[in-house]
Amino acid sequence: MECEFPTINANNEAIKSILSEVKTIAVLGLSPNVSKDSYRVAQYLQASGYKIIPVYPKEDFILGEKVYRSLEEIPFSVDMVDIFRKPDALDAIVDVCITRGDVKVFWSQIGIVNNKAAQKAENAGMKVVQSHCSMVEHRRIYG
């Protein structure tokens, strides 16, 4: 997939609203490697009071939380997915979010854009943030 410019994206007020409303965040691609961005972002969000749900193909626990192999396996409600995966993976992820019916926010990290998946998420009633770091946005808004 070529690099895309996000044509669907939340504005600053929507991002502030998202970060004040969500409680549980499934972090897709959360690495156990402390030097990886996904780990540092999830650690920051967890320290900021969010319930972090690691989704990763290996490990049993990351950041003290039970690891799920897929979004489908999580047996409780998820407010937001925070995605650290390649853009072409977002097509399948949005389908799972729609099937679950509980995901309110579809968030992809810096450099991750898939406008087709974003449009599908928006059409299903989710708020969409593309190519933004949740940690950077939280720090910008809340200091």
| CA–CA dist 129, 111 (Å, integer) | 12
The secondary structure of 16-73 as a DSSP string is HHHHHH--EEEEET--S-TTSHHHHHHHHHHHTTPEEEEE-SS-SEETTEE-BSSGGG
Domain range summary for the chain, segments of one domain joined by +: 12-142
pTM: 0.95
Residue 1 is predicted with a pLDDT of 43
Return mean pLDDT, the chain: 96
CA atoms within 13 A on the CB side of 85: 23
Q: Across the strands, what pairs with 28?
A: 55, 83
Strands 65-66 and 80-83: unpaired
> In terms of Cα–Cα distance, which of 95, 140, 132 is closest to 113?
132
Q: How far apart are the first and last CA of the chain?
A: 35
Query: How would residue 2 be classed by pLDDT, with cut points 50, 70 and 90?
Result: low
Specify whether the CB–CB gap between 138 and 19 falls below 8 A. yes
Each residue's pLDDT tens digit, 13-51: 999 999 999 999 999 999 999 999 999 999 999 999 999
| Fold classification of 12-142 (topology level) | Rossmann fold (3.40.50)
